[in-house]
Every structure is written in C-alpha cells, then in structure tokens.
C-alpha cells in the first residue's frame, strides 16, 4: 500500500489522468449522442433516441466532472466533494426524467402500434460504444479509487451502464432487422429503463457501487 506522502505526490498525476479520461469521454459522448439522437429521430426509433439522450446526460456529467476537478485543484478537496455531490444529484434527476420519458413513449408506441425503421449508423455507433465504454470505465474506476473521487466513481458507473445500454440497443436493432415486428422498438426501449433507473439511483444516492461493478 502506498504511503500517504506518496499518495499525495501522485495526486496531480492522477488528476491529470482523470482529465484525460473525461476529455476522451466528452468527445465520444458528443459523437454517440449526435448519431443516436439524430438517426433515432429519423428512424422513429425510441430505443436509439433514448440511448442518445442517455449519452447526452453522460456528456453533461463529464463536463461537470471536469469542472469539479478544476474546483478541487483551486479550492481544495472538501469544497470539491460538495460540488461533486450536487453534480451527482443533478445527474440522477436527469436520468429519472429520462426513464419516465421512455416509459411514457413506449406505452404510447405500444398503444398505437407504431413501428420504427432500422438504422445502420445507429447500430454501428452502438457496437463501437461497447468496447469503448468498457475500457473507459475500467480506467476511471482505478483512478477514482486512487483519488477517492465520488464524481469520478459515479461517472465510471455511468460508463459501465452506457456499455450495457449499447448492448441492449444492438440486440434491439438486430432483432428489428431480422423480425421486422412493429413492437420490437417499444419493447427494446423498455429494456433500457432498468439500466437508466439503476444508473440514476446510484448517482442520486452516491452509492459505493463501483467496487462491486469492477469485480463483476
């Protein structure tokens, strides 16, 4: 185990790594959100659109975290932790709102039997998101553990959830292509809700769930 002095000396390097991880997250989430939302709306796909909105929330979360890390450098850890807690609560509230939107929209699509078109760009970005989110989340968990950063832990869990969401979207889009049933998109979007609520609860409560997630 590293001594307190060594941990203190390593902190600037760890914070730099956290910045680098978040900048990569910002770039990818901007691409993922733009493609998923744009092509999701064009195809009338609730599953793809919801995935894009989740990516947009994670983009906001990453931007807030970058600011939190800057606050920590300028004002100290205790002030940074207060900001991190507030940022986590805001992210959780946005995710709960997304879950409510998906449930309402899916219910409407099932009621009126509204179908969606298959989206190849949506499938490509979803497939790419799985390994990208896996690699980012693992590294974020390592750095968060070393820094003791609540916001970075929360962001790492969001990346893990994003990877699972991407897998759900891939399955839904492939099923839509193969089955061509009108209900596939609505049912696929409802599968996303569980992950979004879990992600929102972890962000709102600030649970120490990352250790468990990292061992799974």
pTM: predicted TM-score of the whole model, two decimal places = 0.78
Report residue 184's pLDDT band, with 50, 70 and 90 as the boundaries: confident
The Cα diameter of the chain in Å comes to: 64
Residue 35: the pLDDT is 95
Residue 211: the pLDDT is 40
* 139 has a pLDDT exceeding 90: yes
Residue 115: the pLDDT is 79
Residue 206: the pLDDT is 64
What integer is the mean pLDDT of 20-46? Answer: 93
* 47 has a pLDDT exceeding 80: yes
Minimum mean pLDDT among 37-41, 45-49, 58-62, 120-124: which range? 58-62
Q: Which CATH number, 3.30.1760, 2.40.50, 3.40.50, 1.20.1510, labels domain 11-211?
A: 1.20.1510
Report residue 214's pLDDT band, with 50, 70 and 90 as the boundaries: very low
> For the chain, which residues make up each domain, given as ranges?
11-211
pLDDT in tens, 99-135: 888 898 888 888 888 778 889 999 999 999 999 999 9
Q: Average per-residue pLDDT in the chain?
A: 81
What integer is the mean pLDDT of 83-107? Answer: 81
User: Per residue in 150-182, is it b (16+ CB within 10 Å) or e — as a string?
Assistant: bbbbbbbbbbbbbbbbbbbbbebbeebeeeeee
* The token pair that represents 29 in the structure block: 């989430």
How many whole angstroms separate alpha carbon 195 and alpha carbon 99? 9
């Amino acid at each position: 185990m590293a001594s307190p002095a060594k941990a203190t000396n390593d902190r600037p390097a760890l914070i730099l790594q956290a910045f680098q991880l978040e900048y990569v997250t910002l770039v990818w989430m901007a691409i993922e959100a733009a493609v998923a939302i744009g092509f999701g709306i064009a195809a009338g796909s609730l599953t793809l659109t919801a995935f894009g909105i989740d990516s947009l929330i994670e983009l906001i979360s990453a931007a807030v975290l970058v600011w939190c890390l800057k606050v920590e450098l300028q004002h100290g850890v205790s002030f940074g932790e207060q900001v991190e807690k507030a940022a986590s609560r805001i992210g959780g509230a946005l995710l709960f709102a997304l879950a409510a939107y998906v449930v309402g929209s899916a219910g409407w699509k099932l009621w009126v039997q509204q179908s969606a078109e298959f989206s190849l760009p949506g499938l490509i970005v979803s497939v790419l998101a799985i390994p990208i989110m896996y690699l980012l989340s693992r590294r974020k968990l390592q750095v968060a553990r070393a820094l003791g950063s609540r916001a970075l832990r929360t962001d790492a869990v969001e990346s893990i959830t994003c990877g699972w969401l991407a897998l759900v979207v891939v399955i839904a889009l492939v099923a839509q292509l193969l089955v061509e049933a009108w209900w596939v998109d609505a049912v696929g979007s409802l599968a996303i809700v569980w992950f979004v609520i879990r992600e929102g609860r972890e962000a709102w409560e600030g649970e120490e769930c990352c250790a468990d997630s990292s061992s799974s």
